[in-house]
Structure 1
């Protein structure tokens, strides 16, 4: 008989090891807290190790298990070492949240090669390096797993001054679909979340300005997203509750992408 009552235990991540990139602040730090609260042992990675230690202490104080790992997503050696460290402490990483990202907001004709390389190396090449390393290890352990790439609504649309960022996130979206196709036979699901506008370190100064407030007034929801509004999408894609979701590109944007033209 088909089960009709929802089994909320499917969202539980107890016994799983999760690695979150770009975890020193913003979405990454929030994602680490959420996954730890759901029972996962979390390895938090970023270049700013001192901020990671504060996050680890916070998670541990709340009863969770956490470990800080130095991680530069643009460096394959650093990526492999981060996975080695996480595995030695917690076992195979079976949940990856590929969150590390940067921006260089400029008009396309004012964008330098340095700007281009900076954004693409972190947002796209870095996502590929980390996801590929995770997949290789999941396959070797025959563990299956879930990879959640953090893309952006700017990978599905675009905005003035964000050409390189939009290109990088569009690449992440296509990479997500391709990896979902190739890895599904290994019981590895690959999905992407496309956040809309949330207040983060990357944009908080702008959204506090008069221009930023005026822009918010044009949004369908008339506000920025709240961090906790990412919890449901993240847990769905990271847990067994999303066991038949693969290759999905999920906007979490308050309807921003369906604005009237």
Structure 2
């Protein structure tokens, strides 16, 4: 890897992808694994992730599947313990929970993971994925009102700064399935050391212009 791209490397990092059963979650898991991270992929039923895990291992990745219900604290805590036992403490959370339900995020997974990061004293990054707004009449995704996820992320970014934990948001464009590749750069920026000074940001991705 060239010196120019080195800051985007995820080598040596442990990443938890919440709800990797969706197309977006699976894409993020593949991307982050390709960048060199140890990847834990979660879903309420871990058996749903067996094919994705097999694909990532075939490509040379280090992968762990965990049962993870992002709305229930005991499930989250058990998943974090399982990840820590296998790979060490979580360095990055890719929180894709809001896509599956398309509802305001229950912040349990963000809260629990941030506490584990604080305890580990290694800093970290939390990347929340805000799904597209439902109303099709909205002219520009950058003009959509701040969601509860965005408001929560900005508040947590401020409170977690002393612990070197960054919290940012990727606000996907409406046609999220057609433009997955356009999310690669923003995700790697926010998850890797390349974005070490970025927190409280909301990156709006409008793939209708591609």
TM-score with structure 2 setting the length: 0.89
C-alpha spacing 1:102/1:249, structure 2 compared with 1 (3 Å): closer
Query: Quick one: which of 162, 167, 172 aligns to 2:149?
Result: 172
Query: Quick one: which of 18, 32, 35 aligns to 1:35?
Result: 32
The CA RMSD over aligned residues, in Å, is 2.4
Hey, which bits of structure 1, 4+ residues long, moved more than 3 A?
A: none
Structure 2 match to 1:56: 53
Deviation track 1:135-180 (CA, whole Å, cap 9, x = no partner) reads: 11111110100000001342xxx61699xxxx99700000110010
Q: Residue 182 in 1 paired to residue 159 in 2? A: yes
Q: Residue 192 in 1 paired to residue 169 in 2? A: yes
Alignment of 1:10-159 (within 5 A): 10-102=7-99, 120=103, 123-125=104-106, 128-154=107-133, 159=135
Q: Is the 8 A contact 1:18 1:93 kept in 2?
A: yes
Which has the higher Rg, Structure 1 or Structure 2? 1
In structure 1, runs of 5+ residues without a counterpart are 104-117, 201-224, 257-261
Answer with 46-55 or 82-91: which moved more: 46-55
Deviation at 1:119, TM superposition (A): 5.4
Match of 1:124, SS state, is coil
2: CA distance between counterparts of 1:32 and 1:251? 20
Query: Quick one: which of 227, 247, 251 aligns to 2:200?
Result: 247
Q: Is the 8 A contact 1:124 1:169 kept in 2?
A: no
Q: Is the 8 A contact 1:94 1:143 kept in 2?
A: yes
More helix as a share of residues:
1
